């Protein structure tokens, strides 16, 4: 089983926690809002297994639960700008 992730940019508060914990996964736009480097925050690219623990650590540290993780890719009906995704907390 693999994981897909994206950041709900509507709820991200640009705290910097995810990028500090998982710099190979997350970066920030010009406003400091996080996004997933792997696929431009689309949630369609399978997370490499070597980065899964970093992804989980970042999700658990996110104060606004903006990091979404699930076992299938995100699409139009299951996008990242809602309460979709599972919590590994």
Tell me the per-residue pLDDT of 25-80, one tens digit each, with 9 for 90 and over.
Answer: 999 999 999 999 999 999 999 999 999 999 999 999 999 999 999 999 997 666 77
Domains of the chain: 4-70 (3.30.70.20)
* pLDDT of the residue at 1: 77
Average pLDDT for the chain: 90
Residues 6+ away with beta carbon under 8 Å from 26: 7, 18, 19, 34, 35, 36, 37, 58
Give the chain's count of helices (H) and strands (E). 2, 4
* pLDDT of the residue at 89: 44
What CA–CA distance (Å, rounded) separates 64 from 12?
Answer: 7
Q: Could you tell me if 5 and 55 are in contact, meaning their C-beta atoms sit under 8 angstroms apart? A: yes
């Amino acid at each position: 089983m693999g994981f897909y992730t994206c950041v709900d940019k509507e709820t991200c508060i640009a705290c910097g926690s995810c990028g500090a914990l998982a710099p190979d996964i997350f970066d920030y736009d010009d406003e400091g809002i996080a996004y997933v480097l792997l696929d431009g925050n689309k949630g369609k690219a399978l997370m490499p297994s070597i980065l899964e623990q970093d992804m989980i650590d970042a999700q658990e540290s996110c104060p606004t639960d903006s990091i979404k993780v699930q076992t299938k890719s995100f699409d139009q009906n299951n996008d990242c700008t809602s309460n979709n995704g599972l919590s590994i907390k």
